[in-house]
Amino acid sequence: MAKSLLLVGFSFLLLDFVAADHSPLQDFCIAQAGSSVLVNGLACKDPKMVQANDFSFSGLHLPGNTSNAAGSRVTPVFAAQLPGPNTLGISLARVDYAPWGINPPHIHPRASEILVVQEGTLEVGFITSNPDNRLISKVLQKGDAFVFPQGLIHFQRNIGTGNAFAIAALGSQNPGVITIGNAVFGANPDVSADILAKAFQVDKSVVNQIQSKF
């Protein structure tokens, strides 16, 4: 019995070791744009070819264009836009909001996020997992910060009369974004209206109407 427990414990330790991200084995791994090498992440540029510009991004002082249905614009600074953070587990984004604009409910499957309001007043919140599905929300003013845990649905809304913007820092060079409405109602090919009608407890005609907007 003791031997079996020891074996199970060893197996869990081994699984944890194999599943965890490894610490970097070099100073940096600048993302190599256009590389044909397929890895879990982005292939590394030759360190001898690395320049200061690989670590630098400009333009975050410029407002994003919020002329869209949501009334918001995200300017990401992920490894795809800035090669320097590749493998370092960090990234950020600027989020602009028109008056009453929203950053729609979405998740980041690979990162937690901390958002700092730079201008305006934002209503922010996230929803806990089943079965509670508890909404945790707060109104933020300029200079306030709020944390969104990894993998939980969250959102922001500008409740002021003027434009607003925030800076978000995320714990991955490629946090991923799944916008709930786009994913559910804008999937390619479409999710069956029968499935969505039953899931959302509405008539199929309602589902078809929503899908037509995506």
Cβ neighbour number for residue 25 with a 10 Å cutoff = 7
Contact 71, 78 (CB under 8 A): no
* 103 is known to lie in a ligand binding site: yes
Q: Is 61 labeled as ligand-binding?
A: no
The torsion angle over the Cα atoms of residues 114, 120, 121 and 124, rounded to 10 degrees, is -30
Q: Which of 112, 119, 168, 170 is nearest to 143 (CA)?
A: 119
Q: How many residues does the chain have?
A: 214
Look up residue 52 and give its DSSP letter: G
Look at residues 64, 86, 81, 82 and name the one whose alpha carbon lies nearest to residue 73.
Answer: 64
User: Is 208 labelled as part of a ligand binding site?
Assistant: no
65 known member of a binding site? no
Q: Which two tokens stand for residue 155?
A: 């959102």
Maximum CA pair distance of the chain?
A: 68
106 annotated binding-site participant: yes
**CB neighbours of residue 28 within 10 Å:** 17
List the binding residues for oxalate.
103, 108, 113
List the binding residues for Mn(2+).
106, 108, 113, 154
List the binding residues.
103, 106, 108, 113, 154
